[in-house]
Amino acid sequence: MSRRAVEPPITASVLNHLLSTSTNCELETMEHSNQKAADLKAEGNALYTAAKFQEAYIKYTEAIQLDDRNAVLYANRAASSMATKELEGYLSAVFDLRVATQIDENYAKAWVRLASIFKEFHMYELSIDAANRALLCLETKELSPSEIKLKKQCEQALNGATEGMEKEQYDFRSLREKASSRVEAVPEDVSKSGRLPWDKARALREILAIGDLHNSSAWLILNAHEEFEDGLKFMHQLKFPEGDGIATGNPNALQYITNALLRDERAFYFSSPDFLKKLDSQITFEDQALRDALGNCPWTGSRGDVSTVQSQVTNLIKRKGWEVARRALSMTVRIWILNGLLSSNINDSPEESLRLYTNALSILEWGVSRWRNVSKEERGVIFERTFVRGVRCFCMNLYQINYNRGHIGDEQLKRLAQLAQDVLDEVDTHPAVSTPAEPLDIGFLIAFWYKPKAIAHASLGFVYWKGAGDKSMQKKARDEDLTQALSHYKSAIASIVVDDETRLYWETNVFEIMIEQAAKGEAAGYNHKRLKFMAQEILDHIISHPHNETINPPEVLHASTHSGLIQRRRRPQHWDSCI
């Protein structure tokens, strides 16, 4: 199916006219109008048969202006739109077919065409619903030859959508399994090529600084990478002497590595084939250094759990003071964070990842409340708002992943909604303040204000969107949820820097929600021109800024071609091998 972007064959004025009610006419005038509409329909049919789809579309539009309660006219115009095999044609067809099914809810052909379109867009649940509606229309009467053919088309659409949904779920699992089994270090020639995301960001730093350009992911990438690199340097300082000598090293590697992840987890990579072994040795070294100061303490590091920490940390503070307790709390929380990242991205275990992140967040929120009058210098930076905000972002993302995989249900979705709202309230209540004593770098501002706000809005968009899929809901409630979902995703897009890859995924969600609104008869959602402009603007920015190779080309192609907004002649050449 072609995805070349074209101007839509329908104007806003025509759409408004379609939605307006026809005026009350005298009977003779109505009969004349209906006859004229029938003549125009016949002309449209002839043009359609001759493959003159644009001309047929115009004839059907003229007929609808005379007879706007004729479901067949809308369905025929939809067929003309679909025949162009263009994005806007399919969007127009969805709108027309929805109007047709509202006029005649037993119009099987319109339902079949809707099922076909939704299947093409991989919107399998909507496709299955439409196909089932069509079959319901056809099962209560003796079928004509044309209706038997239509039923076969419907069954094909239903089977295709069902298989597509199953394959999509399998492909996702298979992809993660393959990725987990082939995790390897970045090759040395690649790491020194100067073409990695942070290399591109570093090359742009001076240009961005001179132009006072803050709205770029380059700052986020660069700062996160530099902090991660500092952690790696400390990790590589670990030495084990021969014999029974004492290991020597820097006990701050875990701190720098986890700080980098909180800025942007995409900074994480394997620097050498034995990276995990070295990381484990570093954590063991830091843990042992802490235990030398603690004595016997069963809850520090990966061995701890929330209830044990909460019940014993107060006693630790009394015995050893904040100097030791601060280190113990920091190490425990940071190990949970690091293990959460590894569980999700290496072991493909998002359930375990969410458990670890929520453990960390529970201790942080509990500590913020319990020690609100204790200074940062004593209790440590892990209880600062920005640190807690970063962990909340991890949790929000993992709630969505786990819900999509069926690991959690609607109750946990409510927890996600509350978590997202807490982030929005907290960001608004405590805006970023840069002072000479504590200046904020641009990357820090993006990481702990812009990004959390964007992720929180996207999380609420996710919650409302999933809520709209509840078939037990009334139509009004579903429509309200879709409107809320659309609003939050747009707010997420507006909150994040313009060239962050996540914007493309959120733009795709906006596009799909608009499709659902059109399918449910929500004309207000039928605003693909605005979406086209916004998504094209992002793609133009990405194409013109090579540092955005942080984006995985196949994922970008999926998101952008799904929106019908990327043309082959405009795509960077190095993407072609990824199709």
Considering the domain boundaries, does residue 94 fall inside one? Answer: yes
The pLDDT, as a whole number, for residue 524 is 43
Cα→Cα distances 157→117, 143, 193, 310, Å: 9, 19, 48, 56
The pLDDT, as a whole number, for residue 330 is 95
* pLDDT band per the 50, 70, 90 thresholds, residue 564: very low
Residue matched to tokens 């990405």:
542
Min mean pLDDT across 96-105, 204-213, 338-347 is at 204-213
Dist CA 200 CA 68 (whole Å): 56
What dihedral do alpha carbons 402, 405, 411, 416 form, nearest 10°? 40
The pLDDT, as a whole number, for residue 519 is 58
Question: Which residues are within 8 A (CB) of 452 and not within 5 positions of it... i.e. 6 or more apart?
Answer: 389, 390, 392, 393, 423, 427
User: How does the average pLDDT of the chain come out, rounded?
Assistant: 80
The SS3 of residue 168 is helix
The pLDDT, as a whole number, for residue 139 is 79
Query: Looking at the predicted structure, is the pLDDT value of residue 168 above 70?
Result: no
Min mean pLDDT across 350-354, 472-476, 539-543, 549-553 is at 549-553
Stronger pLDDT, 239 or 246, i.e. the higher one:
239
Average pLDDT over residues 470-485: 85
Beta bridge partners of 248: 239
Could you list the residue range(s) of the whole structural domain that residue 62 is in?
A: 12-181
* pLDDT band per the 50, 70, 90 thresholds, residue 23: very low
DSSP readout, 200-268?
Answer: HHHHHHHHHHHTT----HHHHHHHHHHHHHHHHHHHHT-B--STTPPPB--TTHHHHHHHHHHH-GGG-
Contact at 8 Å (CB) between 266 and 273? no
Dist CA 311 CA 485 (whole Å): 41
Query: Looking at the predicted structure, is the pLDDT value of residue 461 above 50?
Result: yes
- Whether pTM > 0.85 for this model: the answer is no
Considering the domain boundaries, does residue 482 fall inside one? Answer: no
* pLDDT band per the 50, 70, 90 thresholds, residue 546: very low
The 10s digit of each residue's pLDDT in 303-355 is 668 888 898 899 889 988 999 999 999 999 999 999 999 988 888 889 999 99
* pLDDT band per the 50, 70, 90 thresholds, residue 169: low
The pLDDT, as a whole number, for residue 527 is 52
The 10s digit of each residue's pLDDT in 492-541 is 999 999 888 898 889 888 888 887 776 555 444 445 555 455 545 545 54
* pLDDT band per the 50, 70, 90 thresholds, residue 454: very high
Number of Cβ within 10 Å of residue 508's Cβ equals 18
The pLDDT, as a whole number, for residue 529 is 56
Amino acid at 271: S
Residue matched to tokens 């812009």:
450
Considering the domain boundaries, does residue 437 fall inside one? Answer: no
Average pLDDT over residues 542-563: 37
Query: Looking at the predicted structure, is the pLDDT value of residue 159 above 80?
Result: yes
DSSP collapsed to 3 states, 27-80:
HHHHHHHHHHHHHHHHHHHHHHHCCCHHHHHHHHHHHHHHCCCCHHHHHHHHHH
Contact at 8 Å (CB) between 32 and 116? no
The 10s digit of each residue's pLDDT in 397-410 is 999 999 999 999 99
Considering the domain boundaries, does residue 548 fall inside one? Answer: no
Amino acid at 495: S
Considering the domain boundaries, does residue 263 fall inside one? Answer: no
DSSP readout, 443-476?
Answer: HHHIIIIIHHHHHHHHHHHHHHHHHHT-TTS-HH
Stronger pLDDT, 210 or 22, i.e. the higher one:
210
Query: Looking at the predicted structure, is the pLDDT value of residue 382 above 70?
Result: yes
Average pLDDT over residues 72-92: 87
The pLDDT, as a whole number, for residue 525 is 41
CATH number for the domain that contains residue 122:
1.25.40.10
DSSP readout, 343-376?
Answer: HHHTS--HHHHHHHHHHHHHHHHHHHHHTTTS-H
* pLDDT band per the 50, 70, 90 thresholds, residue 21: very low
Residue matched to tokens 């569980």:
343
Task: Classify residue 520 as exposed, middle or buried by CB count within 10 Å of its CB (0-12, 13-18, 19+).
Answer: middle
Considering the domain boundaries, does residue 477 fall inside one? Answer: no
The pLDDT, as a whole number, for residue 570 is 28
Segment holding 559, helix H or strand E: helix 553-562
Stronger pLDDT, 26 or 537, i.e. the higher one:
537
The pLDDT, as a whole number, for residue 154 is 87
Q: Which residues of 463-481 are buried (b: 16+ CB within 10 A; e: fewer)?
A: bbbbbbeeeeeeeeebbeb
Highest mean predicted confidence (pLDDT) among 70-74, 207-211, 247-251: 70-74
Min mean pLDDT across 378-382, 463-467, 539-543 is at 539-543
Q: Pull the structure tokens for residue 90.
A: 């399919």
Dist CA 73 CA 48 (whole Å): 13
Considering the domain boundaries, does residue 295 fall inside one? Answer: no
The pLDDT, as a whole number, for residue 359 is 95
Stronger pLDDT, 170 or 264, i.e. the higher one:
264
Average pLDDT over residues 212-229: 89
The pLDDT, as a whole number, for residue 265 is 92
Report how many domains make up the chain. Answer: 1
C-alpha atoms less than 13 angstroms from C-alpha of 129 in its C-beta half-sphere: 11
Considering the domain boundaries, does residue 304 fall inside one? Answer: no
The pLDDT, as a whole number, for residue 480 is 92
The 10s digit of each residue's pLDDT in 258-301 is 999 999 998 998 888 888 889 989 988 998 888 887 776 667 76
Distance between terminal CA atoms of the chain? 15
The SS3 of residue 94 is helix
Helices (H) and strands (E) in the chain, counts: 25, 0
Q: Pull the structure tokens for residue 488.
A: 């939050």
Dist CA 282 CA 251 (whole Å): 8
Contact at 8 Å (CB) between 60 and 54? no
Beta bridge partners of 239: 248
Query: Looking at the predicted structure, is the pLDDT value of residue 56 above 80?
Result: yes
The pLDDT, as a whole number, for residue 573 is 32
Contact at 8 Å (CB) between 456 and 439? no
